[in-house]
Chain A
Amino acid sequence: SIFTADEVENEEVEVETGDGIHIYSYKVEARITSRFAHTTICSRVVNTAQHAQSVVFNMQIPKSAFITNFTMNVNGITFIGSVKEKTVARSLYAKARARGKAAGIVRTNSNDMEMFRTEVHVPEGSKIQFEIHYEEMMQRKLGVYEYNLNLQPGKLVPQFQVDVYIYEPKGIAFVRAPNSLGEHFEGLVKVTTSNQKAHVCFKPTLHEQRKCHNCSSTAVDGVFTVQYEVIREDNGGDLQVSNGYFVHFFAPINLSPLPKNIIFVIDISGSMWGLKMKQTVQAMQTILDDLGHDDFFSIIDFNHNVRCWSDELVPATSIQTSEAKKYIQEIQPNGGTNINEALLRATHMLSNAMNYGVTDPRSVSMIILVSDGDPTVGEIKLSAIQKNVKKRMRDEFSLFSLGIGFDVDYDFLERIALENRGMAQRIYANQDASQQLRDFYQQVSSPLLRKILIEYPDEAVTDVTQNSFDKYFSGSELVVAGRVEPHGYSVLQSVITASSGTMDLSLQAEADVHELDEILALQRHVNPGFARQLWAYITVNQLLAERSLASTAAKKRKITQKIVSMALEHQFVTPMTAMLVESESGDERLLADSPKGPKQDCCAGSSVMGRKGLLTNGPPPWAQSPTAQPTALAVKAPLVEALPNRITLVEND
């Protein structure tokens, strides 16, 4: 049996859901070891109906995560996942499909999550176990790491349990598990912490899961959140070596922020009319209030024309900011979109300020572009705009792009930002957009260091990920990883050089090459291979970013090969790989492919299933229409008989 004795006992628990599909167990275990999270979600289901029907396994996975494994067991037949190069996986899948022995795993996009959904058609009495694994790096934002888990079991579950284990070698400063699932679950999340370890457990009983006393529906529906921070004693960062790989987390605290020169370039074209403009204005009110006395700023708003609130940077005094707020409030969006001209004007303004010595030479100069659409006026060729901006941006300037909604070519905004020492963020055009804009601004509003270079002895390390960074912002974290030479030193050292508000810094960090492995070996609920996977995770993400900036097809191909090779070695489902899920005999197959980016989509902020244009096929035809199977066949029927002849598949690229 694929069920434990405990679960078999629980079969006695009657959970009437009407459709004959009972989820007996839904267990999530996340192991976060040194910011690297490995999540396993396991669900065990029985079709208790008197007929064959489809069983769906739905899971929302953070977009920043890579799926690393998926297995399924149907009545003792195990399907095992393996990551393959996309065309290979598709070809194998196509063969199975041709023989009518294939089913699809669908992945679609939502705001920060993507849906992983698989569906199998099984005879009555079938027992199915789904298990998915995914990995992600915890990103420090505003001084906190946040682990989010989407919990939507859809039904009452006799054995429902979430365990989040955190292990941070340098110690945990705090762990919070804010009750994001609603008042119903107040006090049900248990947090246990010691110096380096934390365990967050959520295990509601059947009764506690019920929406009301006699309800048969579950109240578990939402995002389960765990927030934590590590202890930081050392401005040189936390250098950790494990299993032949090193990871260096650099997040100095207690440094004064650098003054900044900031130009807000705001799209006021017709498409911004309504909620988007209202939310932008709201956000700008707060952002302008947050500017410091040492900061300089200006505002450029553009549609087909480009207007400047002030032709030059002005100090962020209360008079100037209140003038700027008034100006923004009076904006009436209309007309086209001339991104090229607006950005060039901003670079010109920054250059002038620098040339005339208006700004502090150690200050940080930033352009924050807020736009909701593609250029329609002036230069509209994206590559030409990219080239123009790059040419005019000085090394001291950075461009941050915020793309509101889905009418905007986010890839372009991301490219242009990455190419100019900045970053991009998608803003979902809903009621929350104002907060999203403010949050983004907060992340970049306190630059603490410039020109950060994190170096290691050449003979001690190889394959080091990006180790030079233009800026370090308060509350964030710079992470560098690499391989440690096997016959190198017993202590790995690092030297970090950077420039702060008033001084040039050179800091050192060091780590014993063996110590952490010895400690990890004694720990339960840790991921001893974290450093290797974290290094691979960072490398693949960097390669994906590099790929989007590649100037020629040949360069792109070369990077793609590297990504594929890394993804195969580390079993990551990336945009260049897919997961083929095969039965042990290899004659039945499922394919997990990466989803399309939400580009040019109409339904910003809408629910996952409500989005249009993502699925090339409709929902699985068998999903809502149970078909009766002969009882005899249902008990021991091989899956091949139960799998549909028709398939569903997400296409991309």
Chain B
Amino acid sequence: PHFIIHLPKCKQDICFNIDSEPGKILNLVSDPNLGVVVNGQLIGAKKLEETKTSTFFGTIAIYYKKQDMKVEISTERISVTNGKHAHLFTWEETGNMTQNGVRISIKKDTYITVSVNEEISFMVLLHRVWKKHPVNVDFLGFYTPHTNMFSPEVHGLLGQFFSEPEVKVFNVHPGSDPKKPEATMEVKGHKLAVTRGWQKDYRADKVYGTNVYCWFIHNSGKGFIDGHYKDYIVPHLDSFLQRP
């Protein structure tokens, strides 16, 4: 999956890919103080592409510990579990559910939003592909606004950027691809070679997406994210990130 991090203070968008294996669960947001965790489980494409399996998010799980409430969204169905109560929905329906400050909205075949106490909200977007496509599979996109009011303890592949790092981009020069200039980025004490490119935001246009121009970090976000991407692999869909 590709990640786009919007940094509002420096008005930059940074992007990176995480290449992992199907079945692995990546922690996206982990806020132990608020008791909110978001994890995504990877699925693979149907076939290898140039010796590599493309991976996507097949399941996104949002767990709100204080209410013991778990929202598990896959490309097939949506399950909402609260203690021993479980409700199942499909992408075929449109509806809202509210419970103790948690609001879940499903827009048929399009997206789901989950908001907690009107302070935090997430959106999961459904990408349906042609069922008989030889390679592609249905997958999910995950969006979270930078206005979310997480605690300072928030972490995760996305969560760590709610506290905006200082980013400096300099030494912009032409790259091997004339459309993609290269530069040096200074972030978190690292100097990284970055490439200008674009990634897609599918919220406004689900089919073609909207290009978001960003500085691309190579090697699975190495140097931009804290630690290694493997540090963000968690055992269960409701696991909080264990910080080293």
Query: Given contacts A254-B87, A255-B87, is CB(A235)–CB(B82) below 8 Å?
Result: no
The interface residues of chain A lying within 8 Å CB-to-CB of B92 are 233-234
Q: Within 8 Å of chain A (Cβ to Cβ): is B210?
A: no
Chain B proximity mask over A492-508: 1 for CB below 8 Å, otherwise 0: 00001000111111111
- Residue-by-residue, is B92-110 near A (CB-CB < 8 Å gives 1, otherwise 0)? 1111111100000000100
Among candidates B84, B87, B96, B108, residue contacting A500 with C-beta atoms closer than 8 Å: B87
CA–CA, A496 and B94, complex, Å: 10
Find residues 84-125 in chain A having any chain B CB closer than 8 Å to their own CB. Answer: none
Contact of A505 among B82, B85, B95 (CB under 8 A): B95
CB–CB A503/B94 < 8 A? no
Q: Is the CB of A507 within 8 A of B84?
A: no
Does A256 make an interface contact (CB < 8 A)?
yes
On whether the beta carbons of B95 and A256 are closer than 8 Å, the reply is no
Bound Cα distance A236, B91 (Å): 11
A493 CB, min distance to chain B CBs, angstroms: 9
| A234 with B86: CB separation less than 8 A | no
Which residue from B84, B87, B88, B93 sits with its C-beta under 8 Å from A503? B87
Residues on A lying within 8 angstroms of B by beta carbon are 233-236, 253-256, 496, 500-510
Q: Which residues on the A side are within 8 Å of B96 (C-beta)?
A: 505-507
Task: Evaluate whether A236 and B95 lie within 8 angstroms (CB atoms) in the complex, with A502-B82, A503-B80, A503-B82 already known.
Answer: yes
Known contacts: A254-B87, A254-B88. The answer to whether A235 contacts B99 by CB under 8 A is no
**Across the interface, which residues of A come within 8 angstroms of B94, CB to CB?**
236, 507-508, 510
Question: Which of A254, A503, A510 meets B98, CB within 8 Å?
Answer: A503
Report Cα–Cα, A504/B84, bound state, in Å: 17
Interface residues of chain B: helix, strand, loop or mixed (majority) = strand
Q: B93, A256: Cβ atoms under 8 Å?
A: no
CA distance A504 to B89 in the complex (A): 14
Main secondary structure of the interface of A (DSSP, over half): loop
Contacts of A501 in B (CB 8 A): 82, 85
Which of B86, B89, B90, B108 is close to A256, meaning CB atoms less than 8 Å apart?
Answer: B86
What is the CB-to-nearest-CB distance from B81 to chain A, in angstroms, rounded to a whole number?
Answer: 9
* B95 A504 Cβ-Cβ under 8 A: no
A507 touches B93 (CB 8 A): yes
| A177 CA to B68 CA, complexed, in Å | 44
A6 nearest CB across to chain B (Å): 47
Q: Could you give 6 example pairs across A and B, Cβ below 8 Å?
A: A233-B92, A253-B88, A501-B85, A503-B87, A503-B98, A506-B96
- Known interface pairs A234-B93, A503-B82, A508-B93. Does A256 touch B98 (Cβ–Cβ under 8 Å)? no
In whole angstroms, what is the CA distance A233 to B87 when docked?
A: 13
Q: Contacts of B86 on A, CB cut-off 8 Å?
A: 254, 256
Contacts of B82 in A (CB 8 A): 501-503
CB distance from A456 to the nearest CB of B (A): 15
Extra contacts, 8 of them, besides A235-B93, A506-B95 (Cβ < 8 A), are: A234-B93, A254-B86, A496-B95, A500-B87, A502-B83, A503-B82, A503-B98, A506-B96
- Provide the bound-state CA to CA distance between A609 and B96, in Å: 55
CA distance A255 to B87 in the complex (A): 4
Proximity bits, B40-58, A CB within 8 Å = 1, else 0: 0000000000000000000
B84 neighbours in A (Cβ, 8 Å): 256
Within 8 Å by CB of B90, from A234, A504, A505, A508, lies A234
Shortest beta-carbon distance from B132 to chain A in Å:
18
In whole angstroms, what is the CA distance A500 to B85 when docked?
10
| Closest 8 A/B residue pairs (Cβ) | A254-B88, A503-B99, A507-B95, A256-B85, A508-B94, A506-B96, A233-B92, A502-B82
Minimum C-beta distance from A299 to chain B (A)? 26
> With a CB–CB cut-off of 8 A, which chain B residues contact A508?
93-95, 108
Give B105's nearest chain A residue, CB to CB.
Answer: A506
Tell me which of B89, B95, B96, B98 has the highest count of chain A C-beta atoms within 10 A of its own C-beta. B95
Distance, CA A61 to CA B86, complexed state (A):
41
Minimum distance in angstroms from A360 CB to a CB of chain B: 11
